[in-house]
Amino acid sequence: MAILKIARMGHPVLREVAAPVADPTAPEIQQLLQDMLDTLEDADGAGLAAPQVHVPLRVALVQVPAERLEQEGEDDGPGIPLTAMINPVIEPLSDEQEHGWEACLSVPGLAGSVPRFTRIRYRYQTPDGDTVEREATGFHARVVQHQCDHLDGILYPMRMDDMAQFGFVQEMQNARRRNTEDQANGQATD
Ligand code: NI
């Protein structure tokens, strides 16, 4: 078991276009996936891309428990089982985009509202070398787009179109708590 160090925004590896993996079944790829899984479990994120652990290859993990989809208001979803994507490719299924809040292990402490395609098809190779194709909507589609962006050197703040919707998670939670308390006390807050 190895928990890898996570690169933070500003490290050049996060801006590189990652290289395709020639052989998804190679032992070094299996080892990388195991280490990335250990790192993801330790960090408690929805996904992790290889460039985030200083490896510029087109490899990413996504995993979203059903409880998380519930928080996102998509409680009919069964969650996204742990998926290792090698050489993933995304195709939007419509032009429609929606904004949603994202955070990133490489941008610690912050969150921002990011426009993403609402419906996508994505294709990737598995660690067994098989090719899999899936369709995704909503938060599932968002997580996959966020991870695949990492493979092209793109971090979510670079996708944002309203920097007023960007801030420290702790401050936003404090503000929400104060709002709720004020409402409970019957005070006007503006
Ligand atoms: Ni990220």
Q: 36 CA to middle of ligand 1, Å?
A: 13
The closest alpha carbon to 87, from 142, 133, 36, belongs to: 133
The predicted model gives 181-185 an average pLDDT of 84
The predicted model gives 142-165 an average pLDDT of 98
Tens-place pLDDT, residues 60-115: 999 988 877 777 777 666 788 899 999 999 999 999 999 999 999 999 999 999 99
- Predicted confidence at residue 186, as pLDDT, reads 73
Q: 46 CA to middle of ligand 1, Å?
A: 9
Which letter, b or e, does each residue of 135-158 get, where b requires 16 or more Cβ atoms within 10 Å of its Cβ?
A: ebebbbbbbbbbbbbbbebbbbee
Tens-place pLDDT, residues 15-73: 999 999 999 999 999 999 999 999 999 998 899 999 999 999 999 999 988 877 777 77
- Predicted confidence at residue 30, as pLDDT, reads 98
For ligand 1, an ion, list residues with CB under 5 A: 104
Q: 156 CA to middle of ligand 1, Å?
A: 7
The predicted model gives 110-133 an average pLDDT of 98
Alpha-carbon span 142 to 44, nearest angstrom: 17
142 pLDDT band, cuts 50/70/90, is: very high
Mean of the per-residue pLDDT values of the chain? 93
- Predicted confidence at residue 189, as pLDDT, reads 54
CATH of region 12-184: 3.90.45.10
Q: 79 CA to middle of ligand 1, Å?
A: 19
Q: What pTM does this model have? A: 0.92
Q: Is the pLDDT reported for residue 168 higher than 80?
A: yes
Q: 115 CA to middle of ligand 1, Å?
A: 15
Sequence ranges of the domains in the chain = 12-184
Q: 190 CA to middle of ligand 1, Å?
A: 35
